[in-house]
Amino acid sequence: MATKTKKTDKSTPSKSKEEKNIQGRKKSGVKKSQTAGANGSAKKGKTGVEQKSATKTAKPASKEAKAKTSKKTAKKTGAAKVKKGEFSKETYLQWYETMLLIRRFEEKTGQLYIQQKFGGFCHLYDGQEALVAALATAKREDDRVITAYRDHAHPIALGTDPKYVMAELYGKTTGLSKGKGGSMHMFDKEHQLYGGHGIVGAQIAMGAGIAFADKYRGGDQVTYCYMGDGAVRQGILHETFNMAMHWNLPVIFVICSSELRHGIVNPLQHRACYGVICLLGRSFIRRGSGFSEC
C-alpha cells in the first residue's frame, strides 16, 4: 500500500505542541489583565461619582427623625426616658423589693423574739421601711449612716445580707457586731453604717461629728443621721443643729415618726408642743445660707 507523506516547509521550523500551549496561555493572561484593569478603573470612577453625589444630596437629620430613632432604640433596649424629678420603673421595683424584704424580716424577728429564741431588747422597724429604702438609693458608696436602736432595716437596705443581721440577734460570732451588740447595735464597716445606738438622741451629736471629720479631712461624704420623733425633745438636738448650721456640716437629719408604725396611736401634738417636726429647724436657718424653710 502506498502511503502519502505531508510536505513540510524546511525554511520555517515546526513548533511543538507544548510551545504552542505556553504561548496561548500567555496571550490569554494578558487579555484578562487588560480587561480587569479597565473594569476596575471604571468601577472606581463610578464609586467616586456616587460618593460625591451622596455627599451633596445628604441632609442633616431633623429633630423629629432623631426623636423617632431614639424612641425606637429605647423600645428595643427596654430603656425608658426618665424626666427630671421622676424615677424609673426599675427604681420603684427596687424600693418595693427592699421594703418587702425588711417587712418580712421584721415580722419573723418579732415571732422569734416572742418565742424567746434570743434575749435582750428588740425594736422593730416595720411601717417605716420606705425611709431607708428611698435614702439607700440616694446614698453614695462612701456616704455615712448612723441611727438609733431601731436599726435592723438599715443594714438590709444598704445591701447587707439579712443572715448576718439575724446572726447578731442570736448572739453569734458571724453577726455584724460579732454577737456582742444584739438588736440595738448593728455596725457594718463595708457599707459605712456606724450603728445602732441605744441611748435616745446619742446618735445626733455623733452624726454631726462624723460629718465634721469628713469636712476637716477635705472629703465630700454626706452623713445620714436617723432619729425618732422622741429624740427631737433631747437638748442635744438643738446644740447639734446650731453647730451644724454654723459650720455648714454635710449632714442630713432624718426624722422617722413613730406614727408611721402600726400600733402607735398617740398623735405627735400630744407628745410635744408642736404639730410639725420640721418647724424646729426654722430658728437655725441663717439668712443667705441657701436652705429653705419647710
What is the pLDDT tens value at each position of the chain, 294 positions in all? 444 444 444 444 455 555 555 565 555 555 554 554 545 444 444 444 444 444 445 455 555 555 555 555 444 444 445 566 688 999 999 999 999 999 999 999 999 999 999 989 999 998 899 999 999 999 999 999 999 999 999 999 999 999 999 999 999 999 999 999 999 999 999 999 999 999 999 999 999 999 999 999 999 999 999 998 888 888 899 899 989 998 999 999 998 877 666 555 555 555 555 556 667 777 777 665 555 555
Give the distance, in angstroms, between the CA of residue 14 and the centroid of all CA atoms in the same chain. 90
Which residues contact residue 234 at a Cβ distance below 8 angstroms, ignoring those fewer than 6 apart?
A: 200, 201, 204
Q: What is the pLDDT, as a whole number, of residue 195?
A: 92
Q: What is the pLDDT, as a whole number, of residue 8?
A: 46
Q: Return the H-helix or E-strand segment holding 254.
A: strand 251-256
Q: What is the pLDDT, as a whole number, of residue 88?
A: 92
What would be the CATH architecture of the domain defined by 89-284?
3-Layer(aba) Sandwich (3.40)
- C-alpha radius of gyration, the chain, whole number: 40
Q: What is the pLDDT, as a whole number, of residue 86?
A: 82
pTM of the predicted structure, to 2 decimals: 0.67
- Boundaries of every domain in the chain: 89-284
Q: How far apart are CA 43 and CA 37, in angstroms?
A: 10
Q: What is the pLDDT, as a whole number, of residue 81?
A: 55
Q: What is the pLDDT, as a whole number, of residue 77?
A: 43
Measured in degrees and rounded to the nearest 5, phi and psi for residue 134 equal: -75, -45
| Crossing angle of helices 235-247 and 202-216, rounded to 10° | 20
Torsion sign over Cα 231, 229, 210, 218: negative
C-alpha cell at 87: 424615677
Q: What is the pLDDT, as a whole number, of residue 26?
A: 53
Q: Return the H-helix or E-strand segment holding 68.
A: helix 63-77
Q: What is the pLDDT, as a whole number, of residue 13?
A: 46
Query: Coil, strand, or helix at residue 188?
Result: strand
* C-alpha triplet 260, 143, 223: angle, nearest 5°: 60
